[in-house]
Amino acid sequence: MQKSNTPLLSINNLAIDFETRSGTVRAVKDVSFTLNKGEILALVGESGSGKSVTAYSILNLLDKNGSLAEGEIIYHGMPLHKADQQMLNDVRGREIAMIFQNPMSTLNPIRKVGEHLSDMLRTHGYPSWSNIEAETEKLLHQVEIFDVQRVKNAYPFELSGGMCQRVMIALALACRSRVLIADEPTTGLDVTTQKSIMDLINNLVKEEGLAVILITHDLSLASQYCDKFVVMEKGQIVEQNTRDKFFRESSHPYTKKLLLATPARSQSVAELTAQAPTYLELAEPIIPEQPLITVTGLRKVYGETKATWLPFKKTSNPFIAVAGSDFSIFPGECVGLVGGSGSGKSTTTRMLTRLEDPSAGQIIFDGIDITEISSHAFIRHPLRKEIQMVFQDPTGSLNPRHCVFDLIAEPLLRLGPKINKQDLQLKVHTLANQVGLPLDFINRLPHQLSGGQKARVGIARAVALAPKLLILDEPTSALDVSVQATVLQLLEKLRRELGLSYLFVSHDLHVVKMLSQRILVMKEGEIVEQGRTAEVMNHPVHDYTKSLMEAIPIETEYA
């Protein structure tokens, strides 16, 4: 693709200020980069890096208390930073378009897709009526939606996340925009959907000469599609390079930290940080012959017909969440559980932790059939403390009214032996140390903690009574990549130290590969493949597993 010489968009020495109660805060300082036609630029950074703020300022979409303090934004020779409302309305959507994370919530829930598109076309000056219908269909084709009639008349909630994102892209194309700003467009989507959306964007770049700014925290995704890399930390650019130089010659310590922490590039958890973690001194636990937990025929069906005395029959629409799973977990090992949304992963974990009763099947834990005990009775059972869980949402899994001490102490008080105040304090402090949580945080409330700290509290609470089986439900997916690195190392350390078994549920296949010895692949309620991680990932047998492995963004260092 021929790249023209004058950049399409250039940002020079940009500085953005925010008015807060404690004064003016400079959120972005001295940011400069350029974007050419037919180029995909990756704007990489973790939370608080200022990447979104920078992108939003291009179209003057900052919140009321944000303002451009210094610098220029030049689009096609026009100074955008000085644009009046008229010019901004012309540029927005027509020349420069934007797509966001959570596509379903960025579409008006009570307007049909076709109406969204016609709104767009009409705003930007499409004159006659008949054109719009044809134009709408053409746009939908362009984003690879072929079931045009259904989609045009559908409301956003009737479509999947991937479809909604395609519609957003169609909106961006509606007026032949030349620049697309994509703010984490695939976060939250399945790996296969992610690949198809990114491929679509890539094709549009190659065929139409679209220029894209891709805001992301996922370096492995960026490495597969992007030509230029800009890394931001704390409001400033720390590294800027083209792809061939980026992976080999990056010098800034933050960039190096990010590169190391990116799961795709490391072989093992230990390599995620610059400093080698301490747990390497601990040996890998030896896996015994007898499994810790054996699951046979585990099945969960929702909405089965119940006998009804109502005159009209209730239509039964049974939803089979889990169709019948068989697997085992051995003491001391980590088993990965992967699958897309709706595959039955969460239902399986809820049944394993006995928060829910299975419709059929058996779970034998440590020789005892725990399916015989109802979920209600299991709360009081001595085995309750042996199966614990670390949750996905660090904010939602901690009671907002309890301080860190109370949160960690809760299982000790409810499930542990009788304990006096002093011993309790000692135990909680030991646990806090074990997970690397500084002691002066012990009286803080969850909203006063960072994401990583919240994750550690969740882990401390879960391992408080050294459960034999720890189920980890996407424990790091909400965390920044560098924080994730340290938390994963913590998990490895605890597993070796305490001899725990893990069931690690994740959609991030690189992480699963690093952490687990064996892996289970689920699709639509069934385990379609299981085996040793290396085997399954390198030589997948089932079609679904194959498509999963193909969809993982692999890092390509060379264009």
| Residue nearer to another protein on the CB measure, 243 or 384 | 384
Interacting residues of 409 by C-beta distance below 8 A, sequence separation 6+: 424, 427, 428
Q: Is 293 helix (H, G, I), strand (E, B) or coil?
A: strand
The DSSP code for 92 is: B
Structure tokens at 476: 């790091």
| Residue nearer to another protein on the CB measure, 18 or 155 | 155
CA distance 188 to 309: 43
Q: Point out which residues bind another protein (CB under 8 A).
A: 59, 61, 88-94, 97-98, 100, 102, 105-111, 119-120, 123-124, 155, 157-158, 168, 171-172, 317, 353, 355, 376, 379-380, 384-385, 387-389, 391-393, 396-401, 403, 405-406, 409-411, 413-415, 425, 442-445, 447, 458, 461
**Alpha carbon of residue 402 to chain centroid:** 27
Interacting residues of 45 by C-beta distance below 8 A, sequence separation 6+: 51, 217, 231, 232, 233
- Write out the E strands in 115-235: 179-183, 211-216, 228-233
Q: Is 101 helix (H, G, I), strand (E, B) or coil?
A: coil
CB of 219 vs another protein, minimal distance in Å: 26
| Residue nearer to another protein on the CB measure, 47 or 108 | 108
CB of 414 vs another protein, minimal distance in Å: 4
Interacting residues of 43 by C-beta distance below 8 A, sequence separation 6+: 51, 54, 55, 213, 214, 215, 216, 230, 232
- Give the pairing of strands 360-365 and 293-302: antiparallel
Bridge partners for 166 per DSSP: none
CA distance 267 to 13: 38
CA distance 364 to 372: 10
DSSP structure string for 500-547: -EEEEE-S-HHHHHHH-SEEEEEETTEEEEEEEHHHHHHS--SHHHHH
CA distance 236 to 270: 29
CB of 44 vs another protein, minimal distance in Å: 21
The region that residue 531 occupies, defined by phi over 0 for left and psi between -120 and 50 for alpha, beta otherwise, is left
CA distance 501 to 470: 6
Q: How far apart are the first and last CA of the chain?
A: 13
| Residue nearer to another protein on the CB measure, 92 or 178 | 92
Interacting residues of 466 by C-beta distance below 8 A, sequence separation 6+: 498, 500
CB of 536 vs another protein, minimal distance in Å: 29
Amino acid at 416: G
Residue 508: CB atoms within 10 A of its CB come to: 19
CB of 439 vs another protein, minimal distance in Å: 12
Residue 192 exposed, middle or buried by CB count within 10 Å (0-12, 13-18, 19+)? middle
| Residue nearer to another protein on the CB measure, 91 or 259 | 91
| Residue nearer to another protein on the CB measure, 413 or 541 | 413
| Residue nearer to another protein on the CB measure, 77 or 125 | 125
| Residue nearer to another protein on the CB measure, 56 or 254 | 56
| Residue nearer to another protein on the CB measure, 82 or 546 | 82
| Residue nearer to another protein on the CB measure, 252 or 444 | 444
CB of 199 vs another protein, minimal distance in Å: 23
CB of 288 vs another protein, minimal distance in Å: 26
CB of 63 vs another protein, minimal distance in Å: 10
| Residue nearer to another protein on the CB measure, 316 or 556 | 316
| Residue nearer to another protein on the CB measure, 124 or 252 | 124
CB of 399 vs another protein, minimal distance in Å: 5
